[in-house]
Structure 1
Amino acid sequence: MAAASSPLIPTQTDDPVALKAWIKAEALALGFADCVIAKPDAQAELARLEEYLKRGYQADMHFLGENLEKRANPALLVPGTKSIICVRMDYLVETPKPRHVPDAPNQGIIARYARGRDYHKTMRGRLKTLSQRIRERVGEFESRPFADSAPIFEKSLAENAGMGWTGKHTLLIHKKSGSFFVLGELFTSLDLPFDQPTSKHCGSCSACLDICPTQAIVEPYMLDASKCIAYLTIEYKGIIPENLRRPIGNRIFGCDDCQLICPWNSFAKLTPIEDFQPRHGLDRLTLLDFWQWDEATFLSHTEGSPLRRTGYQSFMRNVAIGLGNAPFNLDIIKQLQAKREQHDEIVQVHIDWALEQQQLKQV
């Protein structure tokens, strides 16, 4: 006689409260830092996005104005969705000093989430595993994982289910964990009890608005992407406006300043997930180190990395700006001149600017 397998508990008869508690425990066991159950309804966020689009703060990210109905009603994106399992993954590998933005002008600064493996793949993989574990318990059900990969108000869904509140910098903040985390969702056909929103705790603090190098946070809870260093160094492929180049400093992929200064990040947790550990020295290379990369090196060192999103030429454009902002160094001038013709016209514009900036600093 074959060994009996563990009996499946039909979704319809499983105690929803017990199932919800079990799903949360499984999520934590998979390395997620938190798990909440959200109602598939984001209608309340639609008016804010429409105002954002009306002001033109989306820059050339035109996709933000598409699929608004699906963003507001997740069941239109995935028919049959009854509940959304929202999770987060912390990504810090070392604790930053509270309310402190490091000053290392010769280093190429890459946002902390992007120094290791691309979290989108890690997130989706673990969500698929969570879905399979649920299926082993309850039987067949419909599910679909997302990690910043579809028209979803993921922050709003997580906030409405109590994972935190939207800070004045527009990022989600958790009272006991800060904001150094990324989000993911598992859309499901399960009938699960929804979690409730928490209270907001930014108060009168304006640290993130005050610290933003380009003043991209134009008012509390409203960000102008066309000024944001994360947008300029990652999404934007053109010539960066000259008035924004100095404020960019040596940030060559993203920016953490508004998070580093936030007092709630004194509670930020370190990640247990190995994929977030820096690779190829991305947490310590100098601007001149990065400037030596040819396209083959870029492709090799960014395989499976968020840095691939910029493309080689845009990445070198960012490094050139950093070199222009670095303290005067004759070697910087020589290296910029030596490699100028190896890059496209857009990068050359920024190389010429960087050379001018270096020469202005020469005593």
Structure 2
Amino acid sequence: MTDLKTQLEAKALEEGFAKMRVCRPDAIPQAAGRLAEYVAKGRHGQMGWMEARMGWRGDPTALWPEARSVVMLAEPYTPEIDPLEPLKAQDCGTISVYAQNRDYHDALKKRLKRVGRWLLEQVPEEEIKVFVDTAPVMEKPLGQASGLGWQGKHTNLLARDLGNWFFLGSIFTTLELPADPAEADHCGNCTACLDICPTDAFPAPYQLDARRCISYLTIEHHGPVDEALRPLMGNRIFGCDDCLAICPWNKFAVEAREMRYAGRPELQSPKLAELARLDDAAFRTMFSGNPVKRIGRNRFIRNVLYAIGNSGDSGLLDTAQGLLDDPDDTVKDAARWAVERLR
């Protein structure tokens, strides 16, 4: 099994993954309790899916009882430019690094399946299941239990040899592979990720209240955003990378090998005035195959209008006024707010 694991790791690296580690499905016994507490406090906001399958999400052994090993893999998507720089261009919007090109789920899952198929060729009597983010799997605790990295104070996974710019994928298998030791915490006294958060979304180190997180507000939250939070969102129109970008461990980040993760120039710092003119058809065309498409035109334009309201650019007043009669009530509310701010 040790030799097979070594060969599996070599195959994973060959396919483009930067790191592979293994843990047991029962390696995160604390996860279920922490998840239950998180949901009980309402910190998941409108993400009802976190509560709906809590039994599976909190216990990988319940998700697939036959599994004996979890293979955790990291794939870098390190940005070419500092994600904090576009925040200075107030007439432009900022889109999270991971969403500036093709949807990572497809590329990552195909790569996972190739690694999984290779494993089944070696042990055809065994079974596998591959997961990328969309299944009730707590990848970050499993990543720490496997030794892939540790969950930092910003709750994201980071590693001493990768920084925190990487996607996570997992292969559950009935094969019993040698497990790796869990990774220890290496954040020390650093609080950079907590200090930079525009909305104070971290009640304490290692805790996140999604209801204040800009990534949640711009992507998962339906309807109008609390008016007290809107000014704090700045020009972030899809996601937020501040806590990731500021992490000092990124000095060890490795270059992304997948070209489909490189930011499209038109999405790295798009003009707010141009985005605000998108109707549903134009929105779908512009974001075809892109993660932004998932939130739909109306929620996206809502975010764009909040950014326009925060721009301080009176030249965008006409743009905001043009959406005061939009068919969507949330867009109309955002347009009203933006107009009042610019006036």
Measured against the shorter chain, the TM-score band is over 0.9
**1:35 aligned counterpart, secondary structure:** strand
Q: What is the deviation of 1:284?
A: 2.5
> 2-side partners of 1:37 and 1:212: how far apart?
32
- Corresponding residue for residue 199 of structure 2: 214
Name 1:51's counterpart in structure 2.
37
- The residue aligned with 1:149 is 134
Quick check: 2:144–2:157 contact (8 Å CA) kept in 1?
Answer: yes
Which residue of the other structure, out of 15, 23, 31, is the alignment partner of 2:8? Answer: 23
CA 1:321/1:358 → structure 2, altered by over 3 Å: closer, same or farther? same
SS, match of residue 229 in structure 2: helix
Contact 1:95 1:268 in 2 (8 A): no
**RMSD between aligned residues:** 1.6
Tell me whether 1:237 sits opposite 2:222 in the alignment: yes
Please give the alpha-carbon distance, in whole angstroms, between the structure 2 residues aligned to 1:184 and 1:79: 19
Distance 1:59 1:172 in 2: 22
Q: 2:323 aligns with which of 312, 336, 339?
A: 339
249-258 vs 60-69, greater mean Cα deviation: 60-69
Distance in 1 between the 2:14 and 2:321 partners? Answer: 52
Deviation at 1:103, TM superposition (A): 1.9
The answer as to whether partners of 2:36 and 2:54 remain within 8 angstroms in 1 is: no
**Quick check: 1:171 aligned with 2:156?**
yes
Residues 299-308 or 74-83, more deviating: 74-83
Shift of 1:241: 0.4
| Aligned-pair CA distance for 1:102 | 4.6
Fraction of identical pairs, as percent = 39
Matched residue, 1:82: 68
Distance 2:246 2:116 in 1: 37
2:242 paired residue number: 257
Following superposition, the deviation at residue 338 of structure 1 comes to 2.1
CA offset digits 1:274-328 (Å, max 9, x no partner) = 1212237111211112112221111012111111221110000000000000132
Q: Is residue 154–residue 205 contact of structure 2 (8 Å, CA) maintained in 1?
A: yes
Normalized against structure 2, the TM-score is what? 0.95
Q: Deviations over 1:228-270 (max 9, x none)?
A: 0000000011110000000000000000011111111222222
Determine if contact 1:116/1:276 at 8 Å carries over to the other structure.
yes
Quote the offset at 1:210 in angstroms.
Answer: 1.1
Find out whether 1:276 has 2:261 as its counterpart.
yes
Q: Output the CA distance in 2 between the equivalents of 1:317 and 1:101.
A: 20
User: Unmatched 5+ residue regions in structure 2?
Assistant: none
SS at match of 1:242: coil
Contact 1:95 1:270 in 2 (8 A): no
Q: TM-score, normalised on structure 1?
A: 0.90
Unpaired runs of 5+ residues, structure 1, are 1-15
Indicate the residue corresponding to 2:332 in structure 1.
348
Count the aligned residue pairs: 342
Write the distance in 1 (CA, Å) between the matches of 2:105 and 2:198: 27
Aligned 1:222-233 pairs, distance under 5 A: 222-233=207-218
Question: Is residue 94–residue 235 contact of structure 2 (8 Å, CA) maintained in 1?
Answer: yes
Does structure 1 residue 182 correspond to structure 2 residue 162? no
Contact 1:101–1:260 at 8 Å: present in 2 too? no
Q: Which structure 1 residue ranges, 4+ long, deviate > 4 Å from structure 2?
A: 99-102
Greater Cα radius of gyration, structure 1 or 2 = 1
In structure 2, how many angstroms separate the alpha carbons of the residues matched to 1:35 and 1:182? 12
- In 1, distance between residues paired with 2:311 and 2:81? 26
Q: Are the equivalent residues in 2 in contact too, given 1:90–1:182 (CA < 8 A)?
A: yes
Partner of 1:161: 146
Deviations 1:77-129 (A, max 9, x none): 124111111111111241528x9785222221000011111111111111111
**Rounded Cα–Cα distance in structure 2 between residues aligned with 1:316 and 1:68:** 32
> SS at 1:31's partner residue?
coil
1:193 to 167, 178, 192: 178
Q: How much has 1:343 moved relative to structure 2?
A: 4.0
Is 2:96–2:239's contact at 8 Å kept on the other side of the alignment? yes
Q: Does the CA-based 8 Å contact 2:144-2:151 persist in structure 1?
A: yes
Worse overlay, 177-186 or 335-344: 335-344
Where 2:172 maps in the other structure, the secondary structure is strand
The residue number in structure 1 matching 2:112 is: 127
- Counterpart-to-counterpart distance in 1, 2:151 and 2:181: 15
Determine the C-alpha separation between the residues in 1 that align with 2:301 and 2:81: 29
Q: 1:40 to 1:91 in 2, by over 3 A?
A: same
Q: In 2, distance between residues paired with 1:348 and 1:266? A: 43
Instruction: Quote the residue 2:56 is aligned against.
Output: 70
